Amino acid sequence: MDWKIPLADLDINQEEEAALLAVLRRRWLTMGAETEAFEAEFAAFTAAEHAVAVTNCTVALHLACLVLDLGPGDEVILPSLTFVATANAVRYTGATVVFADVISEQDFSISPQDIEAKISPRTKAIIVVHYAGYACDMPRILALAEKHDLAVIEDVAHAPGASLNGRRLGTWGEVGCFSFFSNKNMTTGEGGMLTTNDAQIAARLRLLRSHGMTTLTWDRHKGHAWSYDVVAPGYNYRLDEMRAALGRVQLRKLPANNARRQELSDCYEELLSQMAPEITVPFSQHPGQSAYHIRPILLPAHIDRETFMANLKQRGIQTSIHYPPIHHFTEYRQAAAHYHLPVTDEIAAREVTLPLFPQMDTTAVNEVVTAVRFALLD
Ligand SMILES: *Cc1c(COP(=O)(O)O)cnc(C)c1O
């Protein structure tokens, strides 16, 4: 379908093309100097001590769970209102997923109060998701973690460049997991990054990313090593040089693109309050600096969402839902049967995501909000 206003779009131009071509002409395509440079630049950008590039955010989450020694018998508390990868990654390790509710219709972040209610003697870690780029209540969550001796993993897939109290998201917990999937704020097609301030964790991440081998093909190519040992049952979760080159360009563009997302998101908020005051616009007045990954809204309870979305589709406007909550999926339904997640259920039933991407202009925002106005009348 050719959308007049798509949900998201890429900022890819000659800069990415030139960076890719340069890598191809250098004739070294697997993890090497370009990836090292990308990691160094990403670490500097987030003010993290270490950044480790990987194939995608899902494997970043898997490695984060592994380096925190999560396994069978352990419980991990996370929101159900997230992409399924956040929960799947926990289950790769054999650990048990425990869902906590989110705060309110105004704040879709995991609720510290419900985290505390779900802590058991088996709880080992909390995974927070900075929904749409808005910070979770990290001071309260870290205090809880300290009190109960729990590790904290941040799913920062929506929030590269976002911060709270002047500290970047992804550097509050033990490990931060970023995504460079195609529709994220910066993209390498598929790609991901881990951040940590713990040198030992960083070393284990690097080891597990590449088969548990003590040296890399790249080290051997440079003549620094000629053999290797294997000290863990690792994986091949490496990023390649083409993606790293794309990532370096996209990272340079990120601050301006996030600022543009903020302008457009503010424009949405203002127009929605004028033209469709019955719509709930979450995260207004939210603390910290968001990355404005998506523009979620909540429909009034009496509006049929399917009809509403079809109405916008007819006008060439693409919308989405973030998210069908994980505890509703067949795979998770049985295990989640005893969960009481009333706020998540309410949001999941009424949420619609409107188009938001840096190349959009305010005329397009106006057109979307006008379409929302008409769809509400239908
Ligand atoms: C996109 C996303 C992921 C998965 O990222 P991939 O890089 O596609 O593996 C995980 N969590 C959240 C919240 C996401 O939005």
Q: Do the beta carbons of residue 281 and residue 272 sit within 8 Å?
A: yes
The ligand 1 atom at the shortest distance from the C-alpha of residue 58 is 9
Q: What is the structure's pLDDT at 333?
A: 85
Residue 219 pLDDT level (bands cut at 50, 70, 90): confident
Q: What is the structure's pLDDT at 307?
A: 97
Q: Which residue in the block uniquely carries the two structure tokens 């697997």?
A: 30
Task: Tell me the CA–centroid distance for residue 189 and ligand 1, in Å.
Answer: 12
Residue 127 pLDDT level (bands cut at 50, 70, 90): very high
**Cross-strand bridge partners of residue 153:** 127, 175
Residue 339 pLDDT level (bands cut at 50, 70, 90): confident
The predicted model gives 330-349 an average pLDDT of: 86
Closest CA to 362 of 237, 263, 247: 263
Which amino acids are annotated catalytic?
184
Q: What is the structure's pLDDT at 216?
A: 79
The predicted model gives 323-328 an average pLDDT of: 96
Question: Is 186's C-beta closer than 6 angstroms to any atom of ligand 1?
Answer: no
Buried b (16+ CB within 10 A) or exposed e, 277-307: eebbbbbeebebbbbbbbbbbbbeeebeeee
Question: Is 187's C-beta closer than 6 angstroms to any atom of ligand 1?
Answer: no
Rounded to whole angstroms, the Cα distance separating 85 from 183 reads: 15
Q: What is the structure's pLDDT at 144?
A: 98
Q: What is the structure's pLDDT at 221?
A: 79
**pLDDT tens digit sequence for 80-123:** 999 999 999 999 999 999 999 999 999 999 999 999 999 999 99
Which tokens sit at 330?
């067949």
Sequential DSSP letters for 326-339: GGGSHHHHTTTTT-
Q: What is the structure's pLDDT at 222?
A: 79
Closest CA to 365 of 232, 239, 267: 267
The predicted model gives 143-153 an average pLDDT of: 98
Q: What is the structure's pLDDT at 58?
A: 98
Task: Tell me the CA–centroid distance for residue 83 and ligand 1, in Å.
Answer: 6
Query: Is residue 337 over pLDDT 60?
Result: no
**Cis peptide leading into 292, omega within 30 of 0?**
no
Q: Which domains does the chain have, with CATH numbers?
A: 14-250 (3.40.640.10), 255-377 (3.90.1150.10)
Query: Is residue 282 over pLDDT 80?
Result: yes
Question: Is 86's C-beta closer than 6 angstroms to any atom of ligand 1?
Answer: yes
Q: What percent of the chain has pLDDT over 70?
A: 99
Which tokens sit at 150?
């729990």
Question: Is 155's C-beta closer than 6 angstroms to any atom of ligand 1?
Answer: yes
**pLDDT tens digit sequence for 179-195:** 999 999 999 999 999 99
Ligand 1 pocket test target in 55, 56, 58, 188 with most atoms within 8 Å of CB: 58
Query: Is residue 338 over pLDDT 70?
Result: no
Closest CA to 313 of 63, 6, 66: 6
Q: What is the structure's pLDDT at 135?
A: 98
CB atoms within 10 A of CB 274: 10
**pLDDT tens digit sequence for 9-25:** 999 999 999 999 999 99
**pLDDT tens digit sequence for 33-55:** 999 999 999 999 999 999 999 99
Whose C-alpha lies nearest to ligand 1, atom 2? 157
- The whole-chain average pLDDT of the chain stands at 96
The ligand 1 atom at the shortest distance from the C-alpha of residue 179 is 7
Query: Is residue 329 over pLDDT 80?
Result: yes
Torsion from C-alpha of 143, 148, 151, 157, nearest 10 degrees: -50
The ligand 1 atom at the shortest distance from the C-alpha of residue 60 is 9
Question: Is 261's C-beta closer than 6 angstroms to any atom of ligand 1?
Answer: no
Q: What is the structure's pLDDT at 137?
A: 98
Exposure of 88 by Cβ count < 10 A (0-12 exposed, 13-18 middle, 19+ buried)?
A: middle
Closest CA to 246 of 6, 3, 7, 11: 11
The ligand 1 atom at the shortest distance from the C-alpha of residue 61 is 10
The predicted model gives 341-367 an average pLDDT of: 98
Question: Is 129's C-beta closer than 6 angstroms to any atom of ligand 1?
Answer: yes
The predicted model gives 236-263 an average pLDDT of: 98
